[in-house]
A and B are shown apart, each in its own frame.
Chain A
């Protein structure tokens, strides 16, 4: 079946003429029709557009103009602006928003000839770790529909885990690609800050946000990153660096690879069964020729408090654009301009978004700036320096992606602080701007466990190589939940 194949396999099949893009696209649309509603993983399905794009891809192939991704269907997280298609960001605020232009990432993947099947559900404005803050309701984890898929890219993770598409885009501000990838048993990559354009990606925290691929394995992540990455003059913090061929480095042997294990990532708060799975994965790496070095990231324990100043501060500023005047939700019958602003925002945003705007507003307000924002920026420096020190002696840092497997729907929704701590191992990479990945490494109580890999700046080639070699030696990434096999 097509959904059992990787992007690399589908690409070869299309090139050999074994099937057409239209056939693939119909197959995945059929799967979305069967399973999409129960998982609640889509906000919009664009069947007609997808089929038109698939036929176009087939024509392009007939003309001899196909690239490696031409004709392979995919989905976008609903945070990426898609010209003419609703782009809600999981919010009532943008429920009526038809994006008037394409994000750079959307444009690039469209140019590569990938039909878009739809837009995936997500935590509202990417603020959440369980997908429960979405205006459209929570996404269900395909491994157990009573549990959360993680967040904020939970819809994208569920789509790939249930193989309703071979590839989904995600975004990661504090773990929003890696944590749902871990909880849903798929491969997720957050590139180095600045590697993938943020243009047209609705901003949450601009100094942390980064888009990246969510796929079935590392080889596929490399294939799509080849297209997603690159300089964009429209993104003021886009990195002006050449894009290497991420596929070319995959096969490099791991002999002599130096893996750093931060002792802080294996302490209190980590589920002992998850720790065991991670230890077995590290053993596997030793057998593949890697050397393991214990390291310390002493300030990493303060990454959550630091993040919950930096991210809300930037969010309170970014989200001030939603004022009910030019686009998005507007309240009924405003009395005056102040009432229009306040009620449009009060009614258009959900509780978690309002909380974060208020944290940021307070942290930036007169008299508190030094105590909160300035202190957080200094902490950010210390957290970042810990990694710089570590990367003098190691090539990749490894540990668990999340402290536990997927939790039950509703289990943490009343306690923001306990929800925030689900991202305890992922946030530091965003604060430092480093690339990070999560790959499937085993199961605890039949729920997937993710192994996190953090690489040095712009070293996605090595990161993907390290993930790929593990996936050549294991089959965790090939396991599918029974209901979607």
Chain B
């Protein structure tokens, strides 16, 4: 481990020592996580799972804990979307900013501090970090057969007198049989901070969870999210992540299909510029027959940005008739942009259909000329082609309000890129 990463690790451990008396819930689990974190340390590029994404810039910061109260006036704006919401500021629920629906049961982790059984702090140091320091989060459950509609889950990072803060929200979402819920997760903020959420998601038989994530953190921020999901028979976990913000970010999914005919979609798009690094890592385990998994990951990369996609599909011996599909496509808009793509298939069953593919390209000159020959100015023509490149990933988002929000965010990204290029 490099000196910087060791210092980073030690400062997080010191924080845990300082806070432990005030942290809610099971101290034994936290202590175990701290031990795991101490022995593993912040991941380095020598760790196979972190080969393409370095956390050195994270370790170089002198982070403090989130302040318990935030003075008004410096909160970033919540992106405009209708519907009930749970708003977290620097990782803590702000009831005054939230409006919760009565279609579901909502409590906060601070009052119901259970870590559940899905997460693996012993294997993922970033999850151990969360387990050590988690203070709050959303604990959501939807009862059998209930269509709970939409909940907007907002994370705001407030800029607090130039202090760099870290927060480690711990979210749990449980859908009982036949339940339905759409969670639109928005992360925005100001300044330099670490947002390190962990989700434990259980989708029971015939239930459907749609999870739309818009990661639009501050450009100096770090976003390290780990999402664990299990899906029972005929259940459906439908996730889409749009990554725009953060200097280093990672969305890591561990999805298990544990009942026959279950489905998981882990689609994502990353639009990155400057020196941003954006990482989508997925592990899909087919542990029952007749299940389907779909992953389409699109990267639009400009300047010196780097996109990472690591996708693993494991098909257990029992999982006959598995239908797995994985596609990674990258559009490189500058000669210095880079995409690292690592597909992995581990198949132990003999009657399965699994495919994966990867493409890398630039904007097509013929298409660009065709648009310009019809009178569309070059910048607009480029934005049309970028939007078109994202189309089949975005089409998977059928929720109207979320779709509109994603479109707006993509437009905004493009306008910022054009403005900085001009």
A and B associate in one complex: no
